[in-house]
Copies of this chain bind each other. A is one copy, B any other.
Amino acid sequence: MKMVQILQTSTLFAGTTADEIASLLQCLEGRTDDYERDWAIIKEGDHTDELGIVLTGRVHITRHDFWGNRSLVADVAVGESFAEALACTALPSEVSVVTAERSTILFLNVHKIVASCQKCCLYHHTLIENMVRLLSQKNLELMKKIDHLTKRSTRDKLLSYLNSESRRQQNRTFTIPFDRQQLADYLCVERSAMSTELSRMQADGLVEYRRREFTLHHEEF
């Protein structure tokens, strides 16, 4: 798929035509870069003024504590973006951004997005409004993640996550972007305990699964 087509599905460029996007990209001086799998695009402590939009592949937002425990904060798929908030502040990053597959990323300087731009393009104001919408959306997504973590038991965390994923993909049968270890890191539970709980849930008829493909049987939440 061509870059412009992907961008039209993104929140940042929502409601703009292909021509307008082309014009905006020039104005914003965007750049693209390719990465192998497991490459750290941003490391903890880094700073950047650019947000990233995934054109191909997939990236994960991760964190490590002092004892080396990994936690997986978020999954970013094609057309989605990362580091918007980081790029809008002067602070160092508290998270890493790592490719989960070989990926192509478009980088855009947020200051060029937000700054008023008299000369170049008429569509710039749409872009600023989209930037506000994008940040709001991320905000609500983080809320949703907090919602999963708020659940006290492993089962409730799993149900909360699986239901939100089912709703997002608008299907009771869906594929998750994580393997078991990554899912455990995402929900902040222990992998083997989580596997055990998944088995119990399947035995209880709540869910069926095979590898990354899940089918929810009861509508919960």
Contact = CB atoms under 8 A, between A and B. Distances in A.
A9 to B, nearest CB: 18
A132 B132 contact: yes
Sorting the interface of chain A by its residue count into under 10, 10 to 19, 20 to 34 or 35 or more gives 35 or more
A133 B86 CA distance: 10
A132 B131 contact: yes
A85 B66 CA distance: 32
B133 A88 contact: yes
A132 B133 contact: no
Contacts of A133: 88-89
B85 A139 contact: yes
Interface stretch (A16-24, A52-60, A145-153, A166-174): A145-153
A82 B88 CA distance: 19
Interface of A: 63, 65-66, 69, 71, 73, 84-86, 88-89, 91, 94-95, 110, 114, 116, 125, 128-129, 131-133, 135-140, 142-147, 149-152, 188, 221
Given A95-B143, A110-B132, 11 more contacts: A63-B150, A65-B151, A85-B135, A85-B136, A85-B137, A89-B136, A94-B143, A114-B128, A132-B132, A142-B146, A149-B188
22 contacts: A65-B150, A65-B151, A71-B150, A84-B136, A85-B135, A85-B140, A88-B132, A89-B133, A91-B140, A94-B140, A94-B147, A110-B132, A114-B128, A114-B132, A128-B132, A131-B132, A135-B136, A139-B139, A146-B146, A146-B149, A149-B149, A152-B188
